[in-house]
């Protein structure tokens, strides 16, 4: 396991702001899960009403700015975090300081559950990609909560299983892909799934830097920048500020099948 010091992101770490603040970072902080208008079908949001009410009694909501460290690889697991709003990247770093992003977590997901259940240190570093709201539950309270609520226990098991499947997918994509173009094409197609189609063009808001994209596909920033430029020259994509325009999805799909 990498040293905890090596897992620190190059971005600045900011202390969390108490949820009592008035709309910190532009987020409408919601403490009541039972009546939350942001609830969706993802993980803990999809629990039964009695279980959600019990969850409200043990969690503490906090707002984080962009670039804040939630927890670090190698750090003891004090509890779990439910991502209520925003997005976070989950990464690992080796002894040479090379970082790989294993997952971009979305609202509704729970963070740190594997380490809390096993009692082992966190295996990943979690950092916010945008202003986010997270709800913290201490380890003891969370384990007692799982024992008392069967549906929450099942959801936790499903979540760990999904994380394993996601990790297998990353390993398969990076280990079995033949070129950076193939790996990048697959990633752009993943982005396209959340994009908006207009006149045959898929528009995606690109919130990751070239360095972060490189960390997702196991490459270098320079190679990612060069490959994106090649895609632009071929008319496959276009970049307009933070907007990624996918003009030829079929071409990306053909690359991804290589």
CATH number at residue 192: 1.10.10.10
* Residue pLDDT, tens place only, 126-172: 999 999 999 999 999 999 999 999 988 988 888 888 888 877 777 77
- Give the mean pLDDT of 75-99: 91
Residues 211, 117 share a domain:
no
Burial of 178 (0-12, 13-18, 19+ CB in 10 A): exposed
Q: Find residue 196's DSSP bridge partners.
A: 203
Domain of residue 65, residue span: 4-175
Residues 228, 162 share a domain:
no
Residues 205, 103 share a domain:
no
Between CA 224 and CA 221 the distance in angstroms is 5
Q: Find residue 88's DSSP bridge partners.
A: 105, 128
Quote the mean pLDDT of the chain: 83
Angle among Cα 141, 14, 120 to the nearest 5 degrees reads: 40
Q: What is the pTM of this model?
A: 0.75
* Count: domains in the chain: 2
Query: The tokens 């004090």 sit on which residue?
Result: 78
Looking at residue 6, its pLDDT comes to 36
Between CA 182 and CA 252 the distance in angstroms is 8
Q: Is the pLDDT of residue 20 over 60?
A: no
Residues 168, 186 share a domain:
no
Residues 95, 159 share a domain:
yes
| Secondary structure of residue 42 in the 3-state scheme | coil
CATH number at residue 34: 2.60.120.10
Residues 215, 165 share a domain:
no
Query: The tokens 């920048």 sit on which residue?
Result: 225
């Amino acid at each position: 396991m990498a040293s905890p010091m090596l897992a620190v992101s190059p971005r600045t770490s900011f202390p969390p702001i108490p949820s009592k603040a008035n709309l910190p970072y532009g987020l409408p902080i919601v403490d009541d899960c039972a009546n939350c208008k942001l609830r969706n079908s993802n993980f803990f949001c999809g629990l039964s009403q009695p279980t959600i009410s019990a969850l409200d009694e043990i969690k503490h909501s906090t707002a984080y700015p962009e670039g804040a460290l939630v927890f670090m690889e190698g750090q003891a697991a004090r509890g779990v975090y439910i991502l209520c709003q925003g997005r976070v990247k989950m990464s690992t770093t080796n002894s040479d300081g090379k970082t790989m992003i294993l997952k971009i977590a979305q609202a509704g997901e729970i963070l740190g559950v594997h380490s809390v259940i096993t009692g082992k240190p966190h295996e990943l570093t979690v950092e916010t990609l945008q202003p986010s709201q997270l709800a913290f539950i201490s380890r003891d309270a969370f384990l007692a909560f799982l024992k008392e609520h069967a549906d929450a226990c099942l959801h936790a098991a499903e979540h760990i299983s999904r994380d394993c499947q996601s990790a297998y997918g990353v390993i398969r994509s990076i280990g079995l892909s033949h070129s950076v173009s193939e790996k990048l094409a697959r990633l752009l197609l993943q982005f396209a799934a959340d994009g908006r189609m207009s006149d045959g063009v898929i528009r995606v808001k690109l919130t990751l830097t070239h360095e972060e994209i490189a960390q997702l596909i196991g490459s270098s920033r320079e190679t990612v920048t060069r490959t994106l430029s090649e895609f632009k020259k071929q008319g496959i994509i276009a970049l307009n500020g933070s907007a990624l325009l996918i003009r030829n999805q079929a071409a990306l799909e053909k690359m991804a099948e290589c």
